[in-house]
Amino acid sequence: MAGMAQEEGSSSVTSSPLQFFPWMPLSPGTGSPYPWLRELKSEDRGLCLIHLLLACANHVAAGSIENANIGLEQISHLASPDGDTMQRIAAYFTAGLADRILKGWPGLHKALNPKQASLISEEILVQRLFFELFTFLKLSYVITNQAIIEAMEGEKMVHIIDLNSFEPAQWINLLQTLSARPEGPPHLRITGIHEQKEVLDQMALRLTEEAEKLDIPFQFNPIVSKLENLDLENLRVKTGEALAVSSVLQLHTLLAMDDEMHRRNSPSGYQNPNSNHFQRLKINQNRRTLGDWLEKDVVSPDSALSPLSLAASPKMGSFLNALRSLSPKLMVITEQESSHNGFNLMERVTEALIFYAALFDCLESTVSRASLERHKVEKMLFGEEIKNIIACEGTDRKERHEKLEKWILRLELSGFGIVPLSYHGRLQANRFLQSYGYDGYKIKEENGCLVICWQDRPLFSVSAWRFRRYD
């Protein structure tokens, strides 16, 4: 089975991850073959789940279905989508690993996963819930808007291209700020891009109402399209307009097209450059807490260095070159600060564990476990992203998040120069956090960009760019 072929360089670990818990002997019993698993304290259970998940992922990568199946069964006695942080994470990671195994039998996989028309209302709801339950996008919007305000000072005609136009709150805030401009508001045109017409209709309605209330000359230009299919001719940039581009959690989706081209043209490019990755993930036995284990110096995959070479990204390169040809005065990009675009499954699993553990921990600290909204976000958004990262390859794998250092190199190669985000922008974001009492969120400066963290874990980056002609 092609889907379960052993990854080059992956470790075929055959010993059970339960070896890490030698003080807990296996004993038969009714129901669960490992009754002591249910008696573990939360901390030990979390560590046990991490070991089990990594071992199971390693078996999946190695094509060892029997051992992977044993691992999935062991995890099932501990994981729960309604439990604590690690139990919830484990439930969605095992679903992703199981889905990857099932793809080895395409007929069985299709029978168990029939294609269903996704409800647009549900997709919109879960995106809105992410905006409401977390502060990451709110901070991104504050920082982005401040950068646009500063760049557009004195401009009479402003055109903003929104590559992921779904949340009117961002531009309502911008309209309100522009209305207070000493020289008066500019003529503002927003081109909104989204796959769903209903989302754009709602955006147009809300923004037009706000602009009329504030007496700002305004036009909304909707474009129904996926980003990869976008025809830049439809953006209709006019002479005399000062152009800004806003991309929130969108650019990484283009990397799937480049990955597929690379796969077809250079199969050898998919040889895993790392050897015995699982062995390098062995855990210091003195670290006993989930938080200790997830510290970055313990797990440091090499995926930041192993994905597609920046020079071999024709789709991304052509898209960025097309944007550059529009001569934007400013482009602001928000992306996930994690490496989920590696060739190697183990790298993606370990990076995803770190990233989503922080997101789940954030919800655990701020939202009740019984919350239906929390469950929807975890299952319909994070669960689907985790499954995509683990189970999918080629153009099907859309969640190809990369870290800021990669985006900086890629954008500089495409002719953009970084615009350091101002102290005032960071001040605005910190004031926003303080005024609403959002504890746990932090903002750090990195190479002139801002990184939004939960506690000390960087999760999202915001960077500003300018076509070098403006430098």
**DSSP structure string for 260-319:** HHHHHH-GGGGS-S-SSHHHHTPPPTT--SHHHHTSTTT---STTTSSS-GGG-HHHHHH
Q: Which pLDDT score is estimated for 383?
A: 96
How many Cα neighbours within 13 Å face the side chain of 88? 23
**pLDDT, mean of each 10-residue run, the chain (471 residues):** 45 39 38 57 82 93 91 91 93 95 85 73 87 95 96 94 94 95 93 93 96 95 92 87 95 80 53 39 41 42 44 76 90 95 90 95 94 95 95 89 93 91 92 87 94 95 84 47
Residues with Cβ < 8 Å from 382, sequence gap 6 or more?
A: 92, 356, 359, 360
Q: Which pLDDT score is estimated for 119?
A: 64
- Core vs surface per residue 360-398: b (16+ CB within 10 A) or e: bbbbeebbeeeeebbbbbbbbbbbebbbbbbbbbeeebe
Residue type, 286: N
Residue type, 54: L
Q: Find the farthest-apart pair of alpha carbons in the chain and give their distance in angstroms, rounded.
A: 78
Q: Roughly what angle, to the nearest 10 degrees, separates helices 168-179 and 197-214? A: 20
Q: Which pLDDT score is estimated for 205?
A: 96
Residue identified by tokens 């439990």 is 83
CB-based contact 165:205 (threshold 8 Å): no
Alpha carbon distance 387, 198 (integer Å): 27
317-337 pLDDT, tens digit per residue, is: 889 988 988 989 999 999 999
Alpha carbon distance 416, 409 (integer Å): 10
